[in-house]
Chains A and B, each alone.
Chain A
Amino acid sequence: MASRVKLLLVVLFLTAIGGGIAAYKHVRLGLPLKAGTLPEQWLVEAKITFMASPEGGKVSARLSLPAAAVDEGIGQESGSVGYNYYVEKDRGEYAAIWASEKQSGNQAIYYRVSFPKLLKSGGEPMPHSGGGLPVAEDPGLSGASENAAKRVVQRAKSVSADPNSLFVSLFTAINAIDASQEVGVLRKQYEGEVGGRSSAIPALGIDLLNLAGVPARLAYGVRLEEARGGQQPTRLVEYYDGADWKVRDPDEPASTLDPEKIFVWNRGGGALFEVNGDAEASQLTFTVIRDLVPLTELTNLRDSPLLISTIFGLPASEQAVFRYVVLIPLGAFVVVVMRNIIGVSTLGTFMPVLLALALLEIPLDSGLIMFTVIIAAGLWFRFLLSRLNMLVVPRVAACVVIVTLLMMVLSVVSYKLGIRDGLQITLFPMIILAWTIERMSLIWEEEGKRSAIMQVGGSLFVAVIAYLFMSIRQVQYLAFYFPEMLLVLLAVIILIGRYTGYRLSELMRFRDFKEA
């Protein structure tokens, strides 16, 4: 039984390495094995990217920092290679400065802040710093737009008593979908000047506030939501109500900032960041991660040797992708169990995993409804197509087109019905759907509808099980913070790979088996 011994050795070896590293992390670095034993932390990472000139030259970058973070000494760190770095303080505002004599090519500079949940958002009322009182600056409008702006301000002033209510009525007016003509003119003009709606509305609002005699300026915030990929800074408006500077979200003028949803990064009207010297195409993106491990331990982890730190040596923007990547093996594991131990028949081997990943992006119920509707409608079209006697590849391509159109229709319909989830379907793997329809229709013709529905149903069932498994918080936690556990998973998969016992489905299949 040499092969059995070899197998056991491999399994033991993998388990020892995986389990060993995990144990080291737990015991020596203090990473808890259970999710949720700690208050949640937010990790916000600012990433400045720019192109330094290829010959190399002087570059300096400046990023204004959230005062709250520096003042309260919450965890923060910066990451950059080959730069002089220091923090300068200027009238209560902080800025991180990176400077270098010689940099070339693509550059990325990181600054991370980590803070526990339910802290202040940083947008609280704050007295004016730097002597005197703030003065509303004239926005310098002229001609038709000045008249329009004055009229809008007048209308808002007539229904408001103080700067707060003026703010609300002004922003309600310029956010309105069926805006008045004056607002329409102004919006068009500002969108032409500063670009898209998200930057035009705050800019217009600030100018109108100033016109009304309320000092106002731009502030920047970060939305505390884990989106895949980075997010752009959110533009907020800071205004002076006669006693304090306050920050509000122009999209939700009537409410103060919710510290659970938004974190104010920069206020005081300064630039959010600037890159000087021989550099161009500079950009700032924020990545937000809900971290389940305190920053001190994370820093320990990040400073450990390569083998231990694994993905934590990466900046947050790169880590965010791995939150999903580490889940794929888990889905594959579920498929292995469902096929080789339970015996559910599926369409293809790993279609369920891909479906489960798609489900991670959409709420389960609407995802399943979408899937079923698209498959059913697609099948119907596919049978119409089959009368045309087309060749295979064009037929699958036609299926892709039909699936795309179906998705559009579904999204529009669900939006009209007030279901918002339909709009997130764009990432639903369309090629998979098209192939599913094609294969299902073939099985339908070859083996009858029962077998086709059984197999697609089996795939869906396995996908849902895999999705449920992947969405358990504890499982996600272990997969992300203890990725070496994947080696243990590998050992289990290898063991199942040599499992020669019966599948559950076979126990049923042979239930009437009698020896002759």
Chain B
Amino acid sequence: MTTDDRQEEKASEAVSPQPAGPLSVASKPTAPVVRRWWHRWIRTPSELRAMGVVGINMRNARFLLPNNPRKLYDLVDNKLRTKQLAVEKEMAVPETYGVISSPRDAAMIHRLLGNRDSFVIKPARGSGGKGVLVIVAREGDWFIKPSGSRLSLDEIRHHCSNILAGLFSLGGKRDVGLIEYRVHPARVLTEISFQGAPDIRVVMLHGYPVMAMLRAATRESDGRANLHQGAIGIGIDLATGRTIRAVHHGHPIERHPDLKVPVVGVQLPHWDAILDIAVTCHEMTGLGYLGVDVMIDEEKGPLMIEVNARPGLAIQLANGVGLLRRLEPALNRHVSHPHDSREQKIDFSRRTFAAS
């Protein structure tokens, strides 16, 4: 159990799927909110409800538990299995160089690495970016991390045995390590990120993309893409793939705090392909509510990095839209048109959730 809200401890109760309750959010825009004294500290529940903000309890009870059967979790919690599925579906994923599944493999790591000078080692069951080791270059016997710090082969070996012992996995289970291709992010993205590689997250319900954001690192977040560690969240218009809004620590910004480049109004390349990858992930996992993480490689185009069965709530902040405003129309559409094809789903989302 970790405390990341994406890993909210999992209730194992069975909840029958139910249509939206009486707490529907009208899609009419709310009246401008008058600032009152308490707004310095909190928003009242009724204000949040009026804006359609989804809290963890609601996410779990209304969207996660009814739509994501427990038996499907292992499929996405284990990146190795997710990748295998994706390869069967002919989806583009980072190439796997090798799998470390036993202490012997960890000891022979230099064989698996060969003479590659850039790669990523990650735990198959890791969560929230824990235990991911990125190496960008080699200098003789030293391996260089994006931050510029150097690691010896021994330290890499040690990192692998930590992965095997289950240090980063959910519930401390024994784990395997993946060595894979390090994505070289498209220039458009590196320009708006400080060091770390930005990734794109698309959240979907029943195969309808409902919201998307780009997470870019800052000096403060130290190459990580977690918003609460100071990364910036950039909302994306589902219809066009242009960035429409950005927040840093919950406050709207126009420019990157360190790089001073504009982060709003950037057109992401390959947007159609990204949406296509997202919908394929829904089809191959069978999860009703999921988040798909995609990176855009300079040469290879969009690559699916991982599927998350418990996507968090920060995406609402990045887009400035309550998730419920998107989830409810998608749910209603799913009930009224249960047999939409993938093209129809993408088309519906792009029409309905376009940023005006």
Contacts and interface: CB of A to CB of B under 8 A. Distances in A.
Interface residues of A, number: 39
Nearest to B317: A513
A389 B128 CA distance: 23
A512 B314 CA distance: 12
A448 B224 CA distance: 12
Contacts of A1: 18, 21
B62 A391 contact: no
A500 interface: yes
B149 interface: no
Nearest to A512: B250
Given A348-B1, A389-B154, A392-B167, A513 B39 contact: no
B34 interface: no
Interface centre among B44, B49, B162 (most CB of A within 10 A): B162
Contacts of B40: 511
B13 A497 contact: yes
Q: Closest 7 CB pairs between A and B?
A: A516-B320, A392-B165, A507-B42, A389-B158, A500-B58, A502-B55, A512-B250
Contacts of A81: none
Interface centre among B1, B55, B245, B252 (most CB of A within 10 A): B55
B15 interface: yes
Contact of A448 (B49, B162, B229, B319): B229
28 contacts: A1-B18, A349-B1, A349-B9, A389-B155, A391-B161, A392-B165, A447-B226, A448-B229, A499-B57, A500-B62, A501-B58, A502-B58, A503-B56, A503-B57, A506-B48, A507-B42, A507-B45, A507-B48, A510-B316, A511-B39, A512-B250, A512-B251, A513-B48, A513-B316, A513-B322, A515-B51, A516-B319, A516-B320
Interface of A: 1-3, 340, 343, 345-349, 389, 391-393, 442, 446-448, 451, 455, 497-504, 506-516
A515 B321 contact: yes
B231 to A, nearest CB: 12
A442 B166 CA distance: 12
B235 interface: yes
A502 B251 contact: no
Given A389-B154, A500-B61, A511-B40, 18 more contacts: A1-B18, A3-B15, A3-B16, A3-B18, A349-B1, A499-B57, A500-B57, A501-B57, A502-B55, A503-B56, A506-B56, A507-B42, A507-B44, A510-B48, A515-B320, A516-B235, A516-B319, A516-B320
B115 interface: no
Contacts of A516: 235, 244-245, 319-321, 355
A500 B45 CA distance: 12
Contact of B45 (A347, A501, A513): A501
Chain B interface residue number, banded: 35 or more
Given A389-B155, A514-B320, A446 B130 contact: yes
B186 to A, nearest CB: 25
A392 B166 contact: yes
Main secondary structure of the interface of A (DSSP, over half): loop
A438 B217 CA distance: 27
A448 B252 CA distance: 24
B301 to A, nearest CB: 29
B29 A510 contact: no
A336 to B, nearest CB: 11
Interface in B21-38: 21, 29-30, 33
Nearest to A390: B158
A508 B41 contact: yes
A232 B49 CA distance: 62
A391 B158 CA distance: 8
A511 B3 contact: no
Contacts of B244: 516
B93 interface: no
B110 interface: no
Interface centre among A391, A455, A504, A507 (most CB of B within 10 A): A507
Contact of A392 (B62, B162, B319): B162
B53 A2 contact: no
B11 A497 contact: yes
Interface centre among B21, B49, B61 (most CB of A within 10 A): B61
Nearest to A509: B250
Given A455-B3, A507-B42, A393 B62 contact: no
Nearest to A340: B57
A41 B30 CA distance: 63
B43 interface: yes
Nearest to B318: A516
Contact of A511 (B43, B55, B130): B43
Contacts of B321: 515-516
B18 A513 contact: no
A346 B8 CA distance: 11
Contacts of B45: 501-502, 507
A150 B88 CA distance: 98
Contact of A391 (B57, B165, B235): B165
B220 to A, nearest CB: 10
Contacts of B165: 391-393
Interface in B211-268: 226, 228-229, 235, 244-245, 250-252
Nearest to B9: A349
Contacts of A447: 226, 229
Interface centre among A389, A455, A500, A501 (most CB of B within 10 A): A500
Contacts of B29: 515
A343 B60 CA distance: 14
Contacts of A346: 3
